C-alpha cells in the first residue's frame, strides 16, 4: 500500500442514499430539488397527487405542502396508500402529509386543511411555493386563478386528471423556459469539426500521420482515427478542387478510400483505428450546423435585443449568437470520443480539443462581460454557466410555456395556432387527442353540474346515472371536436369523421364508467410521469413535456401534444 | 384466460401421447447451446478437450498443442467456464499456466476480442478456440497484455523466439520464471 | 363479504366493501371495450379476491403496493436481497433503520399493516430456489427482476411448465424493468406469445473494452478503474475475494486506478465512478420505477378481472417501451414470437415420447433413428443432470460411452426431459420420456 495515495474520504451519508439518482442529475440538480417547495392542491379521490409527491419526497425534494379539505373516508383506504384505518374521519391533508414525511427525514412536509376557495382569498397564500400541482376536479374559476398566478409569477403549474383507466396532465410553464443541460444521447453529441479544423488540430494530425505509409505496423495501427480522416480528407480535396465529399455517393467513395488504405497484413488481419475511421465517415463529415431550434433561438427577440434585467440565459445566448455570426459555427464542445490510440496521443488530442473549447469560452465570456456592463447588470454571470452553455450549445432547448385550457361553461375552447396541427392529428389511429377532448368535455360537465350554489365540489359525471351522463358528455365532446375542426378550417372525410366520433364516444363511455374513481395503478403510473416532469422542471435538466401528456391504460399508450 | 387457453388448444395439433410421472428439471438454454456448440467443434489434431465431470458440460479445459509457429512443442491448457447466461455472456477463458506471450498475461488473462468486447451470441465455442489457436501462430505485439513480451517481439523477433523457447522449457525471461509446458 | 375476502373488520360491518367503492365502479360496470361475455359484479369481485399472485425483484415495493390496492388479497413475494442505503431513494417501504434486513420480509410486513386484509407471504431467497410445484400455485407472476439471467430463468421455467392437458399450467408472466429514465413492461403467455428469450435482443449487452487497452493503452478514467478491478486486484490481492460492498476494497481499487490515471495523465477518476464501474451501477429513480411497476400491475389487474383488454393477448401488442428523458415517449407494439427460439420455439417444447424403460440407451437411440421426424445420424443426448451420450468431442464420447449399454430406467426418471442434437440438423429435439 506504500505506493498508494493517502486514504480518501468516502461518499457522505447523503451521497450514499441518493447515489442512484445523483448519477443522473448530479449535485446541482439535487440542490435545485432541495431548494424547491411543492404545493399539491388535492381533490377528488386524491391518489394521483400523493403518488406524485411520494416520488418527490423519496429523492429529497426540499419541502412540500398538501392543501386538501377532504375528510378521510372508508373509500380512501381502498385506493390511497398513505392513509390508515384510524385516520377515517380525520383530515386527509394532515394524515397523508404525515405518512409521506415518514418516507424521508430530509424532507419538510406541511398541510393545510382549508378549502381551496378560502385559501386563495389571501393574495399571498401562493407565495412560498416554487411549483404547484393541482389534481382535478377543481372549479374552473379557481383553476383560472392559479393559472393567472402561474403566468404572473413564472411558477410552473401542473394540472392532473386520473379517472378510471385514463389520465392526463398539462404543464403551464413560463413563456421562456430554457434548458441548457438537456442530457442528449452521447452518441449524438460529438462534434469533431473535421470539415472545419483549426490550425492546432491540423498540425497535430499532420504530425501523427507523417510518413504514414512507411510507419512501423504498431505505429500505423495506433494513429487516432481523427488524424486518419483529416489525412485522407486532405488527399481527397486535392483531387476534388478543394472540396470535401459532398453527398452520400462521395462520402461512400471516400469511405472506401479509407477502408482500402488499411493494412491487411497485421496479425489481427485488420486495423481497429481504420475500422473506427470507416465507421465515422458518414456521421462525422458533416458541416457543423446548429440545429434549427438553436438557430430559432438566435432569432428570438429576447436574444436579439438584450435589455436591462435580462436573464443570464439570454445574455449568454446573445453572446453565443455573436460568436456564431462571426465564425459560422458554435463554440466547440471540446469532448472527444474514445478511440484506438496510444494513451499519450489520445490525451494530447483531447487537449487540442479542450484548449480550443476553452478559447471559445473565453471569447464568449468577453462578450458576456461587455453585455453585462452595457445593461448595467449588478452581478456577473458565473463562468461555469457560460461554460455549460458553450458545451451544450448545439442541444439547448427553449420551451415556450403557455397556459392550458381551463373549461368554462358556455365558452368554446380556443385552440389558436395549435388548431391546425391538432385537427390534422385528430383522426390518426394512434392519436390520443380524442381522449384529451373527452377530458375537456368531462371538465365542462362538472362545471355545469355544480351540486349546489355553495363551495361544495361539483358532481362527477358517471357517479350515478351513467347512461344519461354519457349522452351529455359525448354531446359536449362532439361539439368541442367540431369547434376544433371549424377553427382549423380543416376538411375531414366523412368516414374519418365518423370514426373519430366513435373513438370520442368510446373514450367518454370508459371515462364515465369510473364514476370519478381513481384506479390505484393508473394513479401510480401517472404520479410517476408527473413527478418525473416536476423533477425535470425543477432541476432544469432533460426535456419536459410540452405541454400535455395523455395516458390510455386500456391500450397502454401515451401521447404528448401541445395545446 | 380461458379464452387464451382455447386459442392454444386450437393452435396445437393433438399430441396423443399421455403424460406421466412427475415433472423433472429442464435442460437449460445454456446447456442446450453448449451441446450444439460442442458438436460443431473442429478440434483437429492439435486440440483436445477434457471434461473433469462429464455431466457438467459448462466447465472444461482445452489443450492446444501448436504444430507450427514459435510455440510449437508446447502444450497449453485453457480453462473454460460458461455460465447460465451463455450465449448472452461470453465464456470465461483463462490460461492455467504461466506463459510468455504478448497477448496472455502472467495471471492467464487472454486478450482475444471475441472473449470480451466483440462477443455476440451468434458466435460459438468454435470461434473461440480458433481464436486461441491463432494467438499461438501469430502473437500480436501491437495490442499486448504482457507488455514486456510485446516489446521483446517488436524489437527483435529472433530474440523473442529464443525467449519463447526458454520459457516453454520452464526457464527465466527477465525476472520471471515460467511454467514448463513442453510436451 | 365473508371468508372469501377474508379480512374481517368485525366492529365496522359493511365497511369492508365500502373501502373498495372506487374499484367496484369498474368491477360492476361494462365498458365499451369489455368482452360482451364478461359478467361484471360479484363474479369479477370474487375472482380478484381469489387470485394468488407472485411479485419479485427490485420493483417489489411498488408491485406489492399496487397489487394490494388493486384488490388482490393473496400475494407472495420473493427477493433474495437485503436492504442497502442506496435503495432508500426509491424503495419506499424501507427506512434507514431497516438497512441490512431482508427486503421481502420488511416489505411484506409493511404492506400487510398498511392495507388491511391483504395477506403477503415473503420468501427471502432466489427465484431459482423454487420449483414448478411452487410456481404452479399462482395465477399471474409479476416480475421486476434486475438481471437478465434471472429473467431468462423464470421465463424458461414457466415455458417448461406448460402442459397441453392442463389449462392451469400456463402462467402469464408480466415483466418490468427500468434503467434511469427508461423502462419496459411486457406480458408473456408462455408458449403462446413471444417470450423473454425471443426478446433477448431488446437488451443491449454491456459494452466492454479490450483487455489489452486496459493493460497497455488506457485512455479513459474507466479504463484505469477496470484495470485495477480486473488486473491489479488479481496480481496483488489474489487471495482476498473482492467484495463490491466493502468500502476498503473499493477504496483500494480507487487508489490503484487513480495512481494509474496519474501515470498516464488521465483526468476524471473519482470514488463514485469507481463504485459505478466495479458494481456496474445502473441509475434508478422512484418515478421510472413507479411508472413501470404500475403499468405491470395494471396489466395484471385487467388480466385477472377482464375489466379491459390487456397487453399480451395473442395477436395483439405485448410490449410497452418507455423513455422519459426527452419529453415522454412510449412505443407499444407486438413483439413476434420466434419459431426458432431456444426456449419457446415450436421445436424446443419437449414432446412426450413413450419409451420402454428396459431399452438400453443404444436401443433407444436406434429407435429414434427410425422415427420419421428425427432420422438421426449422430445424436448426442443429455438430461438436465446427466450427459447421457455425446458423439463429440472425443473425450466426452469416451466418458459417456458406458451409458449406451445401460437401461433407460437407470439413466433417467419417468417423465424426465432429454435433449437431442445432431450435427446433421440445425434443430434440437426435446422429448419428455414417458415409461410404458
Report yes or no: B115 at the A interface, CB cutoff 8 Å: no
Which pLDDT value is given to residue C11? Answer: 42
pLDDT-derived band at A112 (thresholds 50, 70, 90) equals very high
Residues A118-168: tens digit of each pLDDT: 999 998 999 999 999 999 999 888 999 999 999 999 999 999 999 999 999
Tens digits of per-residue pLDDT, B85-108?
A: 899 899 999 999 999 999 999 999
| A78: contact with C, CB 8 A cutoff | yes
- Predicted confidence at residue C8, as pLDDT, reads 38
Contact criterion met (CB < 8 Å) for A344 and C283: no
Q: Which chains touch A (3 or more CB pairs under 8 A)?
A: B, C
Most confident of B10-19, C153-162, C422-431: C153-162
Which of these, B5, B51, B37, lies nearest to B125 by C-alpha position? B37
**DSSP element (H, E) containing A204:** helix A199-208
Full domain range(s) for residue C425:
350-435
Enumerate the residues of chain C whose CB falls inside 8 A of the CB of residue B120. 205
CATH of range A13-176+520-561; options 3.40.50.720, 1.10.10.920, 3.90.230.10, 3.30.70.270: 3.40.50.720
Note whether C170 and C131 are same-domain residues. Answer: yes
Domain ranges of chain B: 28-172
> Above pLDDT 70, what percent of chain A?
96
All residues at 6 or more sequence positions from A60 whose CB lies less than 8 Å from its CB, including other chains: A18, A30, A33, A34, A104, A106, A107, C89
Check B38 against C205: CB less than 8 A apart. no
pLDDT of residue B2: 62
DSSP A273-321: HHHHHHHHHHHHSS--PPPHHHHHHHHSHHHHSPPTT--HHHHHHHHHH
Measure the CA–CA gap between C1 and C71, rounded to whole angstroms.
13
pLDDT of B78: 97
Say if A308 is an interface residue toward chain B (CB within 8 Å).
Answer: no
Of C278, C293, C311, which residue constitutes the final position of a domain? C278
d(CA A420, CA C121): 55
Number of domains in chain C: 3
Question: Which pLDDT value is given to residue C9?
Answer: 39
The CA R_g of chain B, rounded to the nearest whole Å, is 22
What is the CATH T-level fold of the domain B28-172, as seen in this structure?
Ubiquitin Conjugating Enzyme (3.10.110)
Q: How confident is the model at residue C14 (pLDDT cuts 50, 70, 90)?
A: low
Q: Is C38 within the bounds of a domain?
A: no
Question: What letters, b where the CB count within 10 A reaches 16 and e where it falls short, cover A323-341?
Answer: bbeeeebbbbbbebeebbb
Q: Where are the domains of chain A?
A: 13-176+520-561, 192-284, 292-399, 416-513
Q: Are C130 and C75 part of one and the same domain?
A: yes
Q: Are residues C249 and C392 in the same domain?
A: no
Average pLDDT score over residue span A517-536:
98
pLDDT, tens only, B139-160? 988 889 999 999 999 899 999 9
Same-domain check for residues C74 and C184? yes
- CATH number of the CATH domain containing C112: 3.40.50.720
Angle at A305 between CA A300 and CA A307, to 5 degrees: 120
Instruction: Name the band, by pLDDT with cuts 50, 70 and 90, for residue C13.
Output: very low
| Contact B131/A at CB under 8 A | no
Angle between helices C271-278 and C247-263 (to 10 degrees): 110
Percentages (nearest 5) of helix, strand, coil residues in chain C: 40, 20, 45
- Answer yes or no: do C236 and C355 share one domain: no
SS3 label, residue C418: strand
Q: How many CA atoms lie within 13 A of B150 on its CB side?
A: 21
Chains near B (3 or more Cβ pairs under 8 Å): A, C
- Which region, left, alpha or beta, applies to residue A435 given φ > 0 means left and ψ of -120 to 50 means alpha? alpha
Question: Are C434 and B111 a contacting pair at CB < 8 A?
Answer: no
A553 touches chain C (CB under 8 A): yes
Chain A hits for B160, CB-CB cut-off 8 Å, are: none
Please indicate, yes or no, if residue C111 is contained in any of the structural domains.
yes
Mutate to test the interface with B, among C159, C212, C218, C431 (most CBs of B within 10 A): C212
Inter-chain CB proximity C352 and B5 less than 8 Å? no
Residue A73 Cα to chain centre, angstroms: 37
Chain A residue whose CA is closest to C222: A338
In a domain, C26, yes or no: no
Instruction: Indicate if C355 and C400 belong to the same structural domain.
Output: yes
**Under an 8 A CB cutoff, do A267 and B139 touch?**
yes
- With H, G, I as helix, E, B as strand and everything else as coil, classify residue C424: coil
Contact residues, chain C, for A531 at CB < 8 Å: 286-287, 290
- Judge if C96 and C114 occupy the same domain: yes
For residue B29, list chain C residues with Cβ-Cβ distance below 8 A. 152, 156, 197, 342-343
Kindly report the number of other CB atoms within 10 A of residue B1's CB atom: 17
Among candidate residues C199, C116, C119, C125, the one with its CA nearest the CA of residue C155: C199
Residues of C in Cβ contact (< 8 Å) with A338: 219-220
Q: Which residues of C are catalytic?
A: 212
Between residues 152 and 181 of chain B, which touch chain C (CB distance below 8 Å)? Answer: none
Query: With the C-alpha atoms ordered C22, C24, C27, C31, is the resulting torsion angle positive or negative?
Result: negative
Nearest residue of chain B to residue A221 (CA atoms): B142
Q: What pLDDT sits at residue B14? A: 38
pLDDT score recorded for residue C10: 39
**Does B45 contact chain C (CB < 8 Å)?**
no
Chain B touched by C86 (CB under 8 Å): no
Q: Which of A388, A404, A262 is nearest to A316 (CA)?
A: A388
- Give the residue, C202 or C159, on which the prediction is more confident: C159
Residues C199 and C224 in one domain: no
Interface check for C385 against chain B (CB to CB < 8 A): the answer is yes
Q: In terms of domains, do C193 and C268 share one?
A: no
Higher pLDDT: A424 or A552? It is A552
Q: State whether C301 and C266 are in the same domain.
A: no
* Closest residue in B to C151 (Cα–Cα): B85
CA-based nearest residue to A80, from C90, C108, C114, C72: C114
In the block, cell 441509475 appears at: C283
C264 vs A347: CB contact, 8 Å cut-off?
yes
Amino acid at each position: 500500500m506504500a505506493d498508494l495515495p493517502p486514504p480518501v474520504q468516502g461518499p457522505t451519508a447523503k451521497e450514499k442514499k441518493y447515489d442512484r439518482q445523483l448519477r443522473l442529475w448530479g449535485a446541482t440538480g439535487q440542490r435545485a430539488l432541495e431548494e424547491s417547495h411543492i404545493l399539491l392542491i388535492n381533490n377528488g379521490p386524491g391518489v394521483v397527487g400523493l403518488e406524485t409527491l411520494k416520488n418527490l419526497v423519496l429523492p429529497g425534494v426540499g419541502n412540500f405542502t398538501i392543501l386538501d379539505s377532504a375528510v378521510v373516508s372508508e373509500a380512501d383506504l381502498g385506493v390511497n396508500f398513505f392513509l390508515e384505518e384510524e385516520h377515517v374521519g380525520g383530515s386527509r391533508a394532515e394524515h397523508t402529509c404525515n405518512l409521506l414525511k415518514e418516507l424521508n427525514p430530509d424532507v419538510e412536509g406541511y398541510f393545510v386543511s382549508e378549502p381551496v376557495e378560502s385559501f386563495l382569498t389571501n393574495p399571498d397564500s401562493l407565495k412560498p411555493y416554487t411549483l404547484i400541482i393541482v389534481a382535478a376536479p377543481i372549479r374552473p374559476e379557481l383553476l383560472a386563478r392559479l393559472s393567472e398566478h402561474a403566468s404572473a409569477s413564472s411558477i410552473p403549474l401542473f394540472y392532473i386528471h386520473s379517472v378510471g383507466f385514463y389520465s392526463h396532465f398539462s404543464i403551464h410553464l413560463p413563456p421562456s423556459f430554457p434548458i441548457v443541460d438537456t442530457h442528449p444521447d452521447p452518441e449524438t453529441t460529438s462534434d469533431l469539426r473535421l470539415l472545419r479544423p483549426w490550425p492546432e488540430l491540423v498540425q497535430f494530425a499532420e504530425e501523427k500521420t507523417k510518413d504514414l505509409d512507411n510507419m512501423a505496423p504498431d505505429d500505423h495501427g495506433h494513429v487516432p482515427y481523427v488524424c486518419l480522416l483529416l489525412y485522407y480528407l486532405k488527399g481527397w480535396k486535392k483531387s476534388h478542387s478543394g472540396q470535401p465529399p459532398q453527398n452520400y455517393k462521395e462520402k461512400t467513395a471516400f469511405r472506401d478510400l479509407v477502408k482500402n488504405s488499411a493494412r491487411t497484413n497485421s496479425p489481427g488481419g485488420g486495423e481497429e483505428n481504420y475500422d473506427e475511421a470507416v465507421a465515422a465517415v458518414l456521421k462525422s463529415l458533416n458541416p457543423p450546423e446548429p440545429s434549427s431550434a438553436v438557430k430559432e433561438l438566435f432569432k428570438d427577440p429576447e436574444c436579439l435585443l438584450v435589455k436591462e434585467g435580462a436573464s443570464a440565459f439570454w445574455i449568454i445566448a446573445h453572446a453565443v449568437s455573436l460568436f456564431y455570426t462571426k465564425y459560422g459555427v458554435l463554440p466547440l464542445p471540446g469532448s472527444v470520443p474514445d478511440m484506438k490510440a496510444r494513451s499519450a496521443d489520445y490525451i494530447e488530442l483531447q487537449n487540442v480539443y479542450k484548449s480550443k473549447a476553452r478559447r471559445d469560452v473565453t471569447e464568449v465570456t468577453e462578450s458576456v462581460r461587455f453585455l453585462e456592463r452595457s445593461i448595467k447588470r449588478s452581478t456577473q454571470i458565473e463562468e461555469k454557466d457560460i461554460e455549460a452553455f458553450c458545451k451544450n450549445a448545439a442541444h439547448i432547448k427553449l420551451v415556450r410555456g403557455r397556459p392550458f385550457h381551463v373549461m368554462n361553461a358556455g365558452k368554446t375552447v380556443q385552440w389558436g395556432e395549435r388548431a391546425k396541427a391538432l385537427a390534422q392529428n385528430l383522426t390518426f389511429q394512434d392519436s390520443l387527442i380524442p381522449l384529451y377532448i373527452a377530458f375537456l368535455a368531462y371538465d365542462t360537465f362538472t362545471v355545469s353540474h355544480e351540486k349546489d350554489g355553495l363551495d361544495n365540489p361539483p358532481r362527477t359525471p358517471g357517479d350515478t346515472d351513467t347512461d344519461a351522463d354519457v349522452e351529455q358528455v359525448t354531446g359536449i365532446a362532439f361539439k368541442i371536436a367540431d369547434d376544433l375542426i371549424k377553427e382549423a378550417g380543416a376538411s375531414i372525410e366523412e368516414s374519418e369523421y365518423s370514426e373519430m366520433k366513435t373513438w370520442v364516444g368510446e373514450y367518454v363511455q370508459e371515462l364515465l364508467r369510473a364514476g370519478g374513481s381513481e384506479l390505484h395503478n393508473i394513479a401510480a403510473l401517472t404520479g410517476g410521469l408527473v413527478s418525473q416532469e416536476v423533477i425535470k422542471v425543477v432541476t432544469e435538466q432533460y426535456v419536459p413535456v410540452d405541454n400535455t401528456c395523455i395516458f390510455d391504460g386500456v391500450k397502454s399508450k401515451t401521447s404528448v401534444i401541445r395545446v | 384466460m380461458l379464452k387464451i387457453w382455447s386459442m392454444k388448444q386450437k393452435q396445437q395439433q393433438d399430441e396423443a401421447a399421455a403424460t406421466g410421472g412427475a415433472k423433472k428439471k429442464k435442460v437449460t438454454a445454456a446447456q442446450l447451446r453448449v451441446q450444439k456448440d460442442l458438436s460443431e467443434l473442429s478440434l483437429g489434431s492439435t486440440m483436445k478437450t477434457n471434461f473433469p465431470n462429464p455431466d457438467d458440460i459448462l466447465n472444461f479445459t482445452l489443450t492446444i498443442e501448436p504444430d507450427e509457429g514459435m510455440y510449437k512443442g508446447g502444450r497449453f491448457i485453457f480453462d473454460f467456464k460458461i455460465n447460465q447466461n451463455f450465449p448472452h455472456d461470453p465464456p470465461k477463458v483463462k490460461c492455467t499456466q504461466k506463459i510468455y506471450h504478448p497477448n496472455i498475461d502472467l495471471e492467464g488473462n487472454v486478450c482475444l476480442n471475441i472473449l470480451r468486447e466483440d462477443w455476440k451470441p451468434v458466435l460459438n465455442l468454435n470461434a473461440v478456440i480458433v481464436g486461441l489457436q491463432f494467438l499461438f501462430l501469430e502473437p500480436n505485439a501491437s495490442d499486448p497484455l504482457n507488455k514486456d513480451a510485446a516489446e521483446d517481439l517488436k524489437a527483435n523477433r529472433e530474440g523473442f523466439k529464443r525467449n519463447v523457447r526458454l520459457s516453454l522449457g520452464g526457464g527465466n525471461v527477465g525476472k520471471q520464471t515460467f511454467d514448463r509446458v513442453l510436451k | 363479504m365473508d371468508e372469501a375476502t377474508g379480512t374481517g373488520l368485525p366492529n365496522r360491518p359493511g365497511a369492508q366493501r365500502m373501502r373498495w367503492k372506487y374499484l367496484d365502479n369498474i368491477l360492476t360496470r361494462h365498458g365499451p371495450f369489455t368482452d360482451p361475455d364478461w359478467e361484471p359484479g360479484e363474479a369479477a369481485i370474487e375472482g380478484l379476491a381469489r387470485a394468488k399472485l407472485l411479485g419479485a425483484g427490485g420493483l417489489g415495493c411498488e408491485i406489492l403496493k399496487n397489487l394490494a390496492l388493486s384488490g388482490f388479497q393473496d400475494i407472495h413475494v420473493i427477493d433474495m436481497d437485503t436492504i442497502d442505503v442506496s435503495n432508500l431513494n426509491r424503495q419506499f417501504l424501507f427506512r434507514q433503520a431497516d438497512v441490512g434486513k431482508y427486503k421481502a420480509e420488511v416489505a411484506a410486513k409493511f404492506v400487510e399493516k398498511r392495507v388491511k386484509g391483504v395477506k403477503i407471504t415473503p420468501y427471502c431467497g432466489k427465484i431459482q430456489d423454487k420449483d414448478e410445484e411452487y410456481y404452479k400455485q399462482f395465477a399471474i407472476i409479476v416480475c421486476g427482476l434486475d438481471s437478465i439471467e434471472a429473467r431468462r430463468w423464470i421465463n424458461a421455467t414457466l415455458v417448461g411448465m406448460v402442459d397441453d392437458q392442463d389449462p392451469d399450467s400456463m402462467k402469464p408472466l408480466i415483466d418490468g424493468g427500468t434503467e434511469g429514465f427508461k423502462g419496459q413492461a411486457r406480458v408473456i403467455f408462455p408458449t403462446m406469445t413471444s417470450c423473454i428469450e425471443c426478446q433477448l435482443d431488446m437488451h443491449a449487452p454491456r459494452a466492454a473494452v479490450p483487455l489489452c487497452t486496459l493493460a497497455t493503452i488506457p485512455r479513459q478514467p474507466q479504463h484505469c478503474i477496470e484495470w485495477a478491478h480486473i488486473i491489479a486486484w488479481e496480481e496483488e490481492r489474489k487471495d482476498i475475494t473482492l467484495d463490491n460492498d466493502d468500502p476498503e476494497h473499493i477504496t483500494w481499487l480507487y487508489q490503484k486506478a487513480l495512481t494509474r490515471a496519474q501515470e498516464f495523465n488521465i483526468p476524471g477518476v473519482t470514488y463514485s465512478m469507481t463504485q459505478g464501474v466495479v458494481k456496474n451501477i445502473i441509475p434508478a429513480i422512484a418515478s421510472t420505477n413507479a411508472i413501470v411497476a404500475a403499468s405491470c400491475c395494471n396489466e395484471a389487474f385487467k388480466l385477472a378481472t377482464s375489466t379491459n383488454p390487456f397487453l399480451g393477448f395473442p395477436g395483439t401488442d405485448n410490449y410497452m417501451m418507455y423513455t422519459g428523458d426527452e419529453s415522454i415517449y412510449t412505443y407499444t407494439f407486438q413483439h413476434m414470437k420466434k419459431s426458432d427460439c431456444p426456449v419457446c420455439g415450436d421445436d424446443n417444447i419437449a414432446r412426450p415420447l413413450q419409451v420402454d424403460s428396459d431399452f438400453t440407451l443404444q436401443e433407444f437411440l436406434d429407435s429414434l433413428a427410425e422415427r420419421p421426424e428425427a432420422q438421426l445420424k449422430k445424436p448426442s443426448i443429455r438430461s438436465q443432470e446427466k450427459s447421457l451420450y455425446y458423439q463429440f468431442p472425443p473425450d466426452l464420447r469416451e466418458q459417456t460411452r458406458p451409458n449406451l449399454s445401460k437401461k433407460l430406467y437407470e439413466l433417467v426418471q419417468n417423465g424426465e426431459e432429454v435433449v437431442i442434437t445432431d450435427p446433421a440438423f440445425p434443430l434440437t429435439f426435446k422429448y419428455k420420456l414417458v415409461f410404458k
